[in-house]
A and B are shown apart, each in its own frame.
Chain A
């Protein structure tokens, strides 16, 4: 850890009291792990030109549209998206942004799989990705239950058996609109957002992985 702090350590006398300051230690840790030129680099290894890298970025973009349209829907309230043309349009925008989000995320997942994107200390990035994938499915599921239409009714009636059979239904009742709606608009999106930020910070901290190199180089 201390190998990189030689510049701070250069001023004698300052090191001992400084290292006791939590604030300073946090700042130094951030500087060390994620300096601004790692967070927002203007240069990338030349192999980053591949189109597969676009999948991650368009997933962020689709997520942004999902959240933006969802914020409008939740602000206006459930009656709006059934009873007004504008509401219906925002409902459609939300619906299709979600479909795009999943398409891009799955392409990104397969891309990262075939790039073995977890190499050289990036396993946690992959694992957080899988958790994001799982929570996204749960969020979409609660969304289908929150539509307040015929599909919601039957998805609920169908899904209750799966949830109850596994004991989950005792706490997570798909027939309870209030619970599903609250989870859908609040907790789950917040969870996804936090995890996506963590995911991207982890990518930026390490930089994108090198190509698979069977003769050494990037070790799996």
Chain B
């Protein structure tokens, strides 16, 4: 190991040294960048589209809310079959023997039907006898019976209409579902469901896993995101609302989702659209490691010598008195 204090002098021996005011340069840079940032901030402001609440969802599209809640009961939503870390219904993504999603198990347990529908209704059924009765009918019914009700109700929801903010479907045998759902819509429209899902038995709240998962199961939020170009197939991770730049530096990461094998069901070498998240993370980890190791990777570290951009950067060094200037 060489002593660096000595080598810096050795390293520069014979190199012409000129005055250079680093501190002045830094102070000027601070001022310059600050003025630039202040100006852009003053002129362009920044994105701040208000968040969507479950209340807005229930008011703007009650049919979607009821359809989502019905699907939760049927165990047919994204969150219901998600797998780890929320539940063990789905297997999670894997690539050959690499299955980290499964390895770490269910660490944030969510039982969609209960969490998003049954429990909030139970809390609200206090002093609401009709809802209480509907809930016990539901819970005392056989699974078979529940499925029949759900199937019939789901079909009817496809042609549902909205009257007075409530969801109306053609008459049929839906058991207690219409009572449960009209209550759920009512609670949600009043903002109660936002509270019930967020509060989670605690006073202070910093964790929005439940309301976000529930909203993610519906199509209302996704529809708004689609309009704002935020969904995954629209390079969503690097976009922002409005005309603002988002996380543009994620372009490479986001790009992989738009190309084979990560967007194709059949895929290539075991990577496909169903394990795209894992695949893209593995790929990006490898690429980041490669970037870090560039100084040691033969071709990559030689490119800067082959492409003479350094001759532009150090124009002075190469142009005049070539050879004479070298130490």
The residue in chain B whose Cβ has the minimal distance to the Cβ of A52 is B313
Q: Are A134 and B288 in contact (CB under 8 A)?
A: yes
* Residues from chain B with Cβ under 8 Å of A160 in the complex: 212
Residues from chain A with Cβ under 8 Å of B232 in the complex: 158, 161
For the A-B complex, the count of residue pairs with Cβ-Cβ distances under 8 Å equals 316
Contact A170 B85, beta carbon cutoff 8 Å: yes
Question: What DSSP secondary structure best describes chain B's contact surface?
Answer: helix
Q: A167 contacts which chain B residues (CB < 8 A)?
A: 100-101, 103-104
Is A4 within 8 A of B3, CB to CB?
A: yes
Q: Are A156 and B212 in contact (CB under 8 A)?
A: yes
A25 → chain B closest CB, angstroms: 14
Segment with Cβ contacts to A, from B24-32, B60-68, B164-172, B184-192: B24-32
What is the bound-complex CA distance between A130 and B284, given in angstroms? Answer: 13
Query: In the complex, what residues of A have CB within 8 A of residue B292's CB?
Result: 126-127, 130-131
- A57-B25, A99-B245 given as contacts; is B18 within 8 A of A44 (CB)? yes
Q: Is the CB of B310 within 8 A of A211?
A: yes
What is the size category of the interface that chain B forms with chain A? 35 or more
In chain A, positions 31-72 with a C-beta closer than 8 Å to chain B are 31-35, 38, 40-50, 52, 54, 57-58, 60-62, 64-65
In whole angstroms, what is the CA distance A172 to B159 when docked?
41
Q: Which residues of A contact B22 (CB under 8 A)?
A: 40-42, 44
Given the interface contacts A57-B25, A120-B11, does A44 sit within 8 Å of B20 by beta carbon? yes
User: A4 contacts which chain B residues (CB < 8 A)?
Assistant: 3, 5-6
| A150 and B241 contact, CB distance less than 8 A | yes
Q: Are A93 and B12 in contact (CB under 8 A)?
A: no
Taking a contact as CB atoms under 8 Å apart, the answer to whether A48 and B32 are in contact is no
The minimal Cβ–Cβ distance linking B236 to chain A, given in whole angstroms, is 6
At the interface, yes or no: A15 with Cβ under 8 Å from chain B? no
Q: Determine the distance from Cα of A163 to Cα of B29 in the docked complex, in whole angstroms.
A: 37
Q: In the complex the two chains form, is A169's CB within 8 Å of B18's CB?
A: no
Contact flags (1/0) for A80-114 with B, using CB distance below 8 Å?
Answer: 01100000110111111101101010100001011
Contact A154 B230, CB 8 Å, known A3-B6, A62-B33, A96-B40: yes
Interface residues in A, total, Cβ within 8 A = 108
Q: Which of B247, B291, B314 contacts A144 (CB 8 A)?
A: B247
For the complex, is A183 an interface residue (Cβ under 8 Å from B)? Answer: no
Contact B48 A40 (CB under 8 A): no
Q: A170 near B313 (CB under 8 angstroms)?
A: no
Give the top 10 A-B pairs by smallest Cβ distance, nearest first: A167-B100, A178-B206, A165-B277, A170-B104, A118-B295, A44-B20, A92-B41, A92-B46, A61-B29, A166-B281
- Pairs A–B under 8 Å by Cβ, sample size 7: A1-B1, A32-B6, A104-B33, A140-B247, A166-B282, A167-B101, A173-B207
Residues of B within 8 A of A (CB): 1-8, 11-12, 15-23, 25-26, 29-30, 32-34, 36-38, 40-42, 44-52, 82, 84-85, 92-93, 100-101, 103-105, 107-108, 206-209, 212-213, 215-216, 221, 224-225, 228, 230-232, 236-237, 240-241, 244-250, 275-278, 280-282, 288, 291-296, 301-302, 304-305, 307, 309-310, 313-318, 326-327
Known: A40-B22, A96-B44. 8 other contacts (CB 8 A): A62-B33, A93-B37, A100-B33, A106-B249, A133-B291, A176-B209, A177-B208, A210-B327
